[in-house]
Structure 1
Amino acid sequence: MENRIDFLIVLDPDVSNRILMCLEDLFDLVRVSAVSRSWRHHVIANGLCKQLCLRLFPQLSKVDRVIELTSSTKEPTEVGSSNFMEWENLKQEHRAYAFLTRGFTSFAVKQLIAEAISASSTDNYPEEGIDNTLDPSDRAGRMASYWSSKGQSNPAVHETLTYKLDGDLCLIYEINIQPFQAFFQWGLPIYSAKAVRFRMGHLKPPVDGPMGESVQDGADNRFIWTYTSEEFPMAQENRLQNFKLPQPVLCIGGIMQVELLGRVQRQEMDGLFYICITHVQIVGRSLSPAFSVDIHEPSKKLTLKVLSYNQPSLLEVPCGNSSVYLQRRVRDLRQIVNILRGNVYVPDYGWGEEEESDDEFVL
């Protein structure tokens, strides 16, 4: 014990950093910083937690500023020497990147869709709107529940469904999609796509017009996409189909688009090709409400905001059921209003009197 040697003191700092950066587990790095004051100082001064986080998630290399807005954090102050302020900033980055890495590896895996934004087309809006894809059931009372595209004579025409995720920073693992099987049409056709592809990104900032008014682009131009996946073939089967990304992808900005590529099913009634989807799930980890980001244009630089250092418990993590329930209630009320006004589209399901009395279709 008398011959103990502290290699952080004996070795060159660059060599010490190379040794410590061989650690791939955040908790090992945290244990290192707890060995002694000098070791903690070394970890913070060299930004080792930040380096580990950027190695795991290189998209965060665009972060040029970290701001703590937690209730337990003192208001920033400019009082003190420049060395003191620099050290305080390094400690802030150390806390932020350590907790950020922990969040990406230990926050609950859940369904991430917060709301449906838009569909590239809808056959009968709102009865066949994108909001229906938030509900896992293909029926809502007596009504079928699904999104339908407009019909096309060309089966190569693709469609898109765009969703807002429940946080600015989300780590996406997989997407699950269920095509719709028309149980009210002869032959029970399934209106799947030939393939799917996924894009992630963020909203464009509003642009001021010549009169100083905010001008928004069209629906297809409101987003900046920072990631596009490979194509995944979709089966023409009535089941929740799993599309797992080769490795988790960090979505910065909280917007995800499902591209439905090609059509396979022609509707007998009009001879046109349609794509119809019952349900969409986006599965991964959200760092909300602990973190948010500001994206600065045109530099693409990011400001990382720390809102809390508390890990959400399972009871605090929203599972999306309440959002789906509210969406469904709004949709049902909207349908009731449209029926009373006499301007609702009600497809002919072809149910006989005996089928109408079946308990399966009772509200």
Structure 2
Amino acid sequence: MEICGDFIQYLNNDTSMKILMILDDPYDLARVSAVSTSWRQFVIENGLCKQLSLRICPQLSNVVDIVEFSSKRGAAGSSPSNPRILRELEMDHKVYSFLACGLMSSVTEDCIEVAMSASSTDNYPEESIENTLETSNRIEQRASYWSSKGEMDPAVPETLVYKLSANLCVISEIHIQPFQAYFQFGFPIYSAKAVRFHMGHLKSPFEMERDVLESSSTQRFSDEMFVWTYISPEFPMAQVNDVQKFRLPKPVLCIGGILKIELLGRVQRQEMDGLYYICLSHVQAVGRRLSPVLDVDIIDQTGRCSLKYHPEADYYASTENREPGSSTLQSISSTLVHRSVRSWEHIILNALLTNGVLPDYEDLDDNLIA
């Protein structure tokens, strides 16, 4: 070990970058930054976590700045006029580490939180879009589904709009179950011919928050109120009474938290009135919301945005429902500090590997950073 050399100190910057840019796992970068002070400095100063995040998700190129919110310092932004360049680089390192780990995570869940609007509803509210959030097609002996209005032309499309559980969600696939009318002759299934998915944000996010909070109506949002930053390929739908899983070509980071499902064409005519309908019993957006320490503010309609970093958010989220005497991920990091962990790299690595909260750089004793 005494004759081992540090290639970062011996090689030029470009060669070292080519070597470390081969790494495509954010946890590997965390381990690299834990090797030594010089390696950590190289990773941070060259923004390797940010570059990895951009390779995983090019949509992050729309991020123009990072704003930190802390009870200790209030709000601090990465303003060009801020002379503390090192602090800015470390902030980028922490935030993009969280982003990269979230983008690579294999944990999935249903990310739909609120049903916002439907282009039409046959019998509102009995056949509302809100019924698609139920996992069963029967609620208290009553059929549970969304139904469009009837149309003479089977080519007329329909759209459903949902608010996701966070402004930053990675969506990998959409699950849709058409409704089978078990109370009609022949048990017809009212699927669409095809489906397409849009993701994006509202043009005026504050208006959306006010409307969602103040009204339970799902009919007030029109398509002109949204900006769609991603549009999927068109997927054919089968006329079967089963959950159909539409996997996206690659996972999509939805910045803004809005999902639109576009139902293209109708296949089933109702015998009673001779009109074509589309009916769905259940919808899921399968993916994951990113760490609660991260949020986003949309700046303009081009999709430019500011990342918001809340280092204490994960701590408060974890303490809301934990039992007395149980430890939190942040307390793990604090324990590491008090045990005289000799470098910041070890704290970054342990926090990332446990999906915990990174402690503030300024809170560490100088002898721990050295």
TM over 0.5: same fold? yes
Change (3 A) 1:278 1:104: same
Change (3 A) 1:76 1:197: closer
Is the 8 Å Cα contact of residues 194 and 234 (structure 2) preserved in structure 1? yes
Is the 8 Å Cα contact of residues 167 and 288 (structure 1) preserved in structure 2? no
Per the TM alignment, residue 38 of structure 1 is displaced from its structure 2 partner at its CA by 1.1
Q: Which amino acid aligns with 2:166?
A: G
Q: Residues of 2 paired with 1:107 and 1:70: CA distance?
A: 29
Q: Residues of 2 paired with 1:191 and 1:197: CA distance?
A: 17
Deviations 1:211-231 (A, max 9, x none): xxxxxx961211000111111
Is the 8 Å Cα contact of residues 26 and 49 (structure 2) preserved in structure 1? yes
Identify which of 272, 278, 283 aligns with 1:275: 278
Is the 8 Å Cα contact of residues 178 and 279 (structure 2) preserved in structure 1? yes
Aligned length: 304
Per the TM alignment, residue 67 of structure 1 is displaced from its structure 2 partner at its CA by 1.5
Q: Residues of 2 paired with 1:105 and 1:16: CA distance?
A: 24
Name 2:265's counterpart in structure 1. 262
SS at match of 2:187: coil
Name 1:303's counterpart in structure 2. 306
SS at match of 1:163: strand
1:111-190 map, 5 Å: 111-190=110-189
2:229 is the alignment partner of 1:226: yes
Change (3 A) 1:34 1:206: closer
Name 1:55's counterpart in structure 2. 55
Change (3 A) 1:87 1:207: closer
Q: Residues of 2 paired with 1:142 and 1:299: CA distance?
A: 47
Q: Residues of 1 paired with 2:291 and 2:40: CA distance?
A: 28
Which consecutive residues of structure 2, in runs of 5 or more, have no partner in the other structure?
Answer: 208-219, 322-370
Which consecutive residues of structure 1, in runs of 5 or more, have no partner in the other structure?
Answer: 209-216, 317-363
1:15-34 map, 5 Å: 15-34=15-34
Name 2:99's counterpart in structure 1. 100
Q: Residues of 2 paired with 1:298 and 1:277: CA distance?
A: 31
Is the 8 Å Cα contact of residues 98 and 291 (structure 2) preserved in structure 1? no
Name 1:43's counterpart in structure 2. 43
TM-score normalised per structure 2: 0.77
Deviations 1:263-307 (A, max 9, x none): 000000000000000000110010152211111115532100112
Q: Residues of 2 paired with 1:39 and 1:262: CA distance?
A: 57
Name 2:11's counterpart in structure 1. 11
Change (3 A) 1:30 1:115: same
Q: Residues of 1 paired with 2:151 and 2:11: CA distance?
A: 69
1:59-78 map, 5 Å: 59-71=59-71, 74-75=73-74
Deviations 1:244-276 (A, max 9, x none): 112111111000011111000000000000000
Point out the more displaced range, 248-257 or 100-109: 100-109
Q: Which amino acid aligns with 1:62?
A: N
2:289 is the alignment partner of 1:286: yes
SS at match of 1:69: strand
Q: Residues of 1 paired with 2:192 and 2:293: CA distance?
A: 37
Q: Which amino acid aligns with 2:129?
A: I
TM-score normalised per structure 1: 0.78
Per the TM alignment, residue 84 of structure 1 is displaced from its structure 2 partner at its CA by 5.5
Is the 8 Å Cα contact of residues 107 and 286 (structure 1) preserved in structure 2? no
SS at match of 2:238: coil
Deviations 1:17-61 (A, max 9, x none): 111111111111111111111111111111111111111111001
Deviations 1:316-347 (A, max 9, x none): 7xxxxxxxxxxxxxxxxxxxxxxxxxxxxxxx
Is the 8 Å Cα contact of residues 117 and 221 (structure 2) preserved in structure 1? no
Q: Residues of 2 paired with 1:140 and 1:75: CA distance?
A: 47
SS at match of 2:307: strand
Point out the more displaced range, 96-105 or 246-255: 96-105
Q: Residues of 1 paired with 2:44 and 2:249: CA distance?
A: 33
Q: Residues of 2 paired with 1:34 and 1:25: CA distance?
A: 15
Detail structure 1 runs of 4+ shifted over 4 Å in the superposition: 75-78
Query: Pairwise CA RMSD of aligned residues?
Result: 2.5
Is the 8 Å Cα contact of residues 122 and 148 (structure 2) preserved in structure 1? yes
- Largest Rg, 1 or 2: 1
Q: Residues of 2 paired with 1:77 and 1:256: CA distance?
A: 31
Change (3 A) 1:181 1:77: closer
Change (3 A) 1:167 1:141: same
Deviations 1:189-233 (A, max 9, x none): 11000111100000012799xxxxxxxx96121100011111111
Point out the more displaced range, 140-149 or 162-171: 140-149
SS at match of 2:84: helix
